[in-house]
Amino acid sequence: MRIAIIPARGGSKRIPRKNIKLFAGLPIIAYSIKAAQESGLFDRIIVTTNDEEIADIARAFGAETPFMRPKELSDDHTATIPVIAHAIETMEQEGIKIDAACCIYATAPFVRAEDIQSAYDAMISHHKSYAFPVTTFGFPIFRGVKRNEEGSIEMFWPEHFLTRSQDLPEAYHDVGQFYWGTPQAWLSGTPIFSNTATTIVLPRHLVQDIDTPEDWMRAELMYKVLQEL
């Protein structure tokens, strides 16, 4: 069985009620549920939450909430892997055999069914424990600088001061939309950012982290523009 697990706790500080806040007319979690449904890959789509309102909205859009997340896994410092591991353990205690689990973040309105499929195919074909999307940085990171209180700067890699941008290696970062993984990897706490993972590459216009109100506004504008193309 393949399952999608969408972590969506209550209690967001920077953007109150972030996981169910309306985004372009729908609760933002609905986009993650919809992408999972459209992929056709999942036998079950589970939302793990500690919040009854989030659970109600998740069910209204077709996801399941077969359990409530415990308090010790619902604070600001809880990492993703323990939350997914708890969901897998809970399901397996009911006798459900899981072959692969995909963590899809609740605030990922740009997530696409075809990317979920591509990452799954990559994980299987490369015999990896994880698979997730990455994208390129918009500026060469090797030309990056740090700034002190006086406004002075210092290069992180001064040896590249004279290196042409086109001669620097391409650098990528995590998109923060979803992560495929084997149950063994999730349960053992295997690090995602390691050689146990493979990746697919997404274009930058499909990537927007949403951590602040400014991020939210930018993401909503981007989304609306993309819908008009």
Residue 144 located in a structural domain: no
What secondary structure does DSSP assign to 108-132, as a single string?
Answer: -TT--HHHHHHHHHHHHHTT-SEEE
Sign of CA dihedral 11, 116, 176, 127: positive
Average pLDDT, the chain: 96
The CATH number of the domain holding residue 81 is 3.90.550.10
Q: How many domains does the chain have?
A: 1
Residue 113 located in a structural domain: yes
| DSSP E strands, 49-202 | 100-104, 130-136, 145-147, 153-155, 172-174, 178-181, 197-201
pTM over 0.85: yes
Residue 145 located in a structural domain: no
pLDDT digits 0-9 by tens, 77-135: 899 999 999 999 999 999 999 999 999 999 999 999 999 999 999 999 999 999 999 99
Residue 151 located in a structural domain: no
Residue 59 located in a structural domain: yes
Q: pLDDT-derived band of residue 76, with 50, 70 and 90 as boundaries? A: confident
Backbone angles phi, psi at 12, to 5 degrees: -65, 135
Q: Residue 70 sits in which domain range?
A: 2-133+174-228
Q: How far apart are CA 120 and CA 42, in angstroms?
A: 11
SS3 (DSSP) at 125: helix
| Identity of the residue numbered 140 | P
Q: Are 73 and 86 in contact (CB under 8 A)?
A: yes
Residue 206 located in a structural domain: yes
Residue 112 located in a structural domain: yes
Tokens of 125: 């074909």
pLDDT digits 0-9 by tens, 138-162: 999 999 999 999 999 999 999 999 9
SS3 (DSSP) at 144: coil
State the Cα angle at 171 between 166 and 175, rounded to 5°. 135
Residue 71 located in a structural domain: yes
Q: Are 23 and 17 in contact (CB under 8 A)?
A: no
Report the Cα–Cα distance between both ends of the chain, in Å, rounded.
Answer: 36
pLDDT digits 0-9 by tens, 18-56: 999 999 999 999 999 999 999 999 999 999 999 999 999
